[in-house]
């Protein structure tokens, strides 16, 4: 499987941070967070378990970092796909398609995010974990605002019936992200077919 590219901008060339994140994504995504031993991640990277704490103070800290970086990636993809698009229907289609334009590693990242959203609900005792949690929460809110704004603009232009744009945005997001709980690249349904189905459902939800 292709390694994930969740790398913070200030990561140095000798840093093991990217390799640790890639190994954790593979383990958390395939076996699950709870079933993954922190020592297994260290073994995959080829470092001692103690060395992990130079980068992440706990397995939860690593998980929250993955979640925050995945949320940022998803938001960046939405912005890139919709920026400059003046047709509301085309913008909605572009946003949905962008959500499914992903690699296998990114599918794991989204699965991890959706399976562990409960971690964002309450404060963490650790300062570093809480920093990541707060940043992830802010990104969730930004993504919700982005989708709400897209729908509001479409309603103001008469392309979509006027409704509660925020509630509708949450419904669309719920439909899209639910895919990552069950979709598997090795399954019988290609991702392209899933994307077409969800895109059609989203358009009907918004335009009918």
Chain-centroid distance, C-alpha 70: 4
> Where along the chain do its domains lie?
59-207
At a CB cut-off of 8 Å and minimum separation 6, what does 66 contact? 6, 21, 24, 25, 28, 109, 112, 113
**Over the stretch 59-86, which tens digit does the pLDDT of each residue have?**
999 999 999 999 999 999 999 999 999 9
Determine the Cα–Cα distance for residues 101 and 82; give it in Å rounded to an integer.
14
For residue 187 the two structure tokens come to 């399954």
Per-residue pLDDT at 14: 72
Chain-centroid distance, C-alpha 28: 14
Looking at every residue in the chain, the average pLDDT score rounds to 93
Tell me the mean pLDDT in the region 109-126: 95
Buried b (16+ CB within 10 A) or exposed e, 137-148: eebbeebeebbb
Q: Which of 150, 69, 54 is nearest to 109 (CA)?
A: 69
For residue 26 the two structure tokens come to 């593979």
Q: Which of 176, 195, 185, 194 is nearest to 74 (CA)?
A: 176
Q: Does residue 190 contact residue 92 with C-beta atoms inside 8 Å? A: no
Which residue do the tokens 């698009």 mark? 85
**Over the stretch 39-57, which tens digit does the pLDDT of each residue have?**
999 999 999 888 898 899 9
CATH 1.10.357.10 fits domain 59-207: yes
Determine the Cα–Cα distance for residues 200 and 3; give it in Å rounded to an integer.
31
For residue 168 the two structure tokens come to 């509708």
Distances (CA, A) of 163 to 93, 129, 147, 155, 198: 19, 38, 14, 8, 20
pLDDT bracket for residue 4 (50, 70, 90): very low
Per-residue pLDDT at 60: 96
Reply yes or no on whether the pLDDT at 183 is more than 50: yes
pLDDT bracket for residue 6 (50, 70, 90): low
For residue 180 the two structure tokens come to 């990552």
């Amino acid at each position: 499987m292709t390694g994930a590219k969740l790398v913070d901008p200030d990561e140095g060339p000798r840093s093991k941070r990217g390799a640790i994140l890639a190994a954790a994504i593979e383990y958390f995504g395939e076996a699950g967070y709870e079933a993954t031993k922190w020592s297994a991640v260290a073994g995959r990277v080829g470092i001692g378990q103690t060395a992990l704490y130079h980068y992440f103070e706990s397995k939860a800290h690593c998980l929250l970092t993955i979640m925050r970086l995945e949320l940022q990636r998803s938001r960046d993809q939405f912005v890139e796909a919709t920026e400059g698009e003046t047709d509301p229907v085309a913008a909605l289609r572009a946003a949905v398609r962008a959500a499914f334009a992903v690699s296998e590693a990114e599918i794991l990242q989204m699965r991890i995010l959706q399976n562990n959203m409960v971690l964002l609900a309450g404060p963490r005792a650790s300062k570093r974990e809480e920093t990541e949690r707060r940043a992830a929460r802010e990104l969730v809110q930004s993504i919700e605002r982005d989708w709400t704004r897209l729908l509001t603009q479409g309603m103001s232009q008469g392309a979509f019936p006027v409704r509660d744009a925020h509630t509708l945005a949450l419904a669309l997001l719920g439909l899209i992200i639910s895919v990552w709980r069950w979709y598997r690249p090795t399954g019988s349904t290609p991702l392209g077919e899933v994307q077409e189905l969800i895109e059609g459902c989203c358009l009907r939800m918004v335009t009918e």
